Amino acid sequence: MADPTEPVLEARDLAVTFPARRRQPAARAVDGVNLALGRGEVLALIGESGCGKSTLARAMVGLIEPNRGEVRYAGKPLRRTRSGLREFRRHVQLVLQDPYGALNPRQNIHDAVAEGLRLHGQRAGLTRRVGEALEQVGMRPPEHFFDRYPHQLSGGQQQRVVIAGALTLGPEVLVADEPVSSLDASVRGEILKLFLSLRDELGLAALVVSHDLGLAWNIADRVAVMYLGRIVEVGTVEEVLLRPQHPYTRALLDAVPSTSDLDAKTVLRGEPPDPTAIPAGCRFHPRCPLRATLPEDRAQLCLNDVPVLAPALDERQVACVHADAAPPAAVPHDRAEVTT
């Protein structure tokens, strides 16, 4: 599905720093990230809150101006001029976490979906195009919803409306920030199915930001794991989730609740990381369970800088100097094992 040779959206050495606030030092939310999204590919960006994944997503749709590095669309760097951004936004669209909040409560569904077309002055066949977009996201018949207001729809329908609004401009990439985390369990799968069908029918690529590894397993081709402003591991879903190499990826996988005893796994201790105080060397070394088991001389290596991963589409990469020394990952517990 993914074309490994041609990235459609790319971040190169991207850095976003939020200026210091009262009594708080500056936060390096995104700190040198290379990431490439192939045409028609679904890439899951996984990490804890505070790791900078949402900031990275916003920088990649052009909502946040990076302090360093660039965003490239179809091989060309994004120009941050008014016309450059307007053009870019026809191709790269955003889907937010909370669909109810993402819809203006005073706009009916027709106007909410038509918003993008109106903003870009494309008024020809407006209602027809709104109807088509609603049908694409499975809201049939579309006329039935035109007059409704966001609060009259269910959470799943609201998220469909947000996606329909993004589709009207005919984008090639959707960047979705936790698109299902505020939805009910049964609705979650329906929205994820929608992402897959949009990819199949329209060739839409998607960068899906989430803390949910199951989401990656459900819809993604590749996964990038982010920790404290950097990508620490990237590769195909099978590689990263079934044979993780970075100790942080392993810790994330161990934290996924399952029917097996929690005691059998090591739950990573400590609080989520703080982007205002990034440790030197490998950012994960103060919490790293692997480092704790290493001899002194090898543990010392963690204090050196870890190379930044390249924006490759077809390469498995791990930002850990001990990646090959890591013990084999525990085989995930699948259903068959439980039933026997």
Partner 1 sequence: MSATQERPPDTTPVEEKAPSRLVPIWRFTLTVLRMPSGLFGVLVMLGFVLMALTAPLYIHPSDLSVTQATGPLLAPPQQGYPLGTDPAGRSVLLLVIWGSRTSLAIGVMATLLTMVLGSSIGLVAGHYQGRTGRLLMHVTDWFIALPGLPLAIALAAVLGQGAASITIAIGVTSWTGTARLVRAQTLAVEARPFIERSRALGATDTQLITRQVLPNVMPLILVSSTLTVASAILAEATLTFLGLGDPTSVSWGSLLNNAFMQGAVTAGAWWYLIPPGIAILVIVLGFTLVGRAVEHALNARVQPR
Partner 2 sequence: MTAPASQIPPAAERRTDQPVEPLLDVRDLTVTYHSGKVPVYAARGVDFALAPGETLGMAGESGSGKTTVAMSLLRLLPAETTVTGEIRFRDEDLLAANWGRMRSVRWAEASVVFQGAMSALNPVRTIGEQIVEPILLHEKVGEKAARARARDLLDSVGVPSRRIASYPHELSGGQRQRVMMAMALACDPHLLIADEPTTALDVIVQAQILSLLTDLVRERGISLIMISHDLSVLASTCDRIAVMYAGRLVETGPSRQVIASPLHPYARALAGAFPTLGDPGSRLAPGGLPGDPPDLREEIDGCPFAPRCPEVEDRCRSGVIPLVRRGDRAAACVHVTGYDEAVGDG
Binding region for partner 1 (CB under 8 A): 61-63, 82, 85-86, 89-90, 93-94, 96-98, 100-108, 110-111, 115-116, 118-120, 127, 143-144, 146-149, 151-152, 154, 162, 165-166, 169
- 262 scored as a contact of partner 2 (CB under 8 A): yes
The entry of partner 1, partner 2, none that residue 196 binds, CB within 5 to 8 Å by partner kind: partner 2
Q: Choose, by CB under 8 A, the member of 114, 192, 198, 224 that binds partner 2.
A: 192
- In 67-184, where does DSSP find H-type helix? 82-91, 99-102, 109-119, 126-136, 143-146, 155-167
| Cβ-based nearer residue to partner 1, 80 or 333 | 80
- 148 scored as a contact of partner 2 (CB under 8 A): no
The crossing angle, in degrees rounded to 10, of helices 126-136 and 155-167 is 130
Q: What is the DSSP string of 225-279?
A: EEETTEEEEEEEHIIIIIS--SHHHHHHHHHS--SS-GGGSPPPPSPPP-TTSPP
> Pairing state of beta strands 27-38 and 7-18?
antiparallel
Nearest distance in Å: CB 99, partner 1 = 9
| Cβ-based nearer residue to partner 2, 37 or 61 | 37
SS3 of 24, please?
strand
The entry of partner 1, partner 2, none that residue 5 binds, CB within 5 to 8 Å by partner kind: none
Q: Choose, by CB under 8 A, the member of 256, 308, 321, 323 that binds partner 2.
A: 256
- 124 scored as a contact of partner 2 (CB under 8 A): no
Nearest distance in Å: CB 175, partner 2 = 19
Tell me the C-alpha distance between 120 and 334, whole Å: 49
The crossing angle, in degrees rounded to 10, of helices 155-167 and 185-202 is 20
Q: Choose, by CB under 8 A, the member of 201, 271, 296, 297 that binds partner 2.
A: 271
* Residue of 55, 165, 177, 190 lying closest to 115 (CA atoms): 165
Distance of CA 311 to the CA centre of its chain: 15
Q: Choose, by CB under 8 A, the member of 167, 198, 237, 306 that binds partner 2.
A: 237
- 119 scored as a contact of partner 2 (CB under 8 A): no
Tell me the C-alpha distance between 266 and 290, whole Å: 11
The entry of partner 2, partner 1, none that residue 134 binds, CB within 5 to 8 Å by partner kind: none
| Cβ-based nearer residue to partner 1, 32 or 84 | 84
The crossing angle, in degrees rounded to 10, of helices 185-202 and 126-136 is 120
Q: Tell me how far CA of residue 135 lies from CA of 127, 284, 301, in angstroms.
A: 12, 46, 55
- 14 scored as a contact of partner 2 (CB under 8 A): no
Residues recorded for the chain: 340
The binding site for partner 2 (CB under 8 A) comprises 48-49, 154, 156-157, 184-193, 196, 211-214, 217-219, 237, 241-242, 251-260, 262-263, 265, 267-269, 271-272, 331-335, 338-339
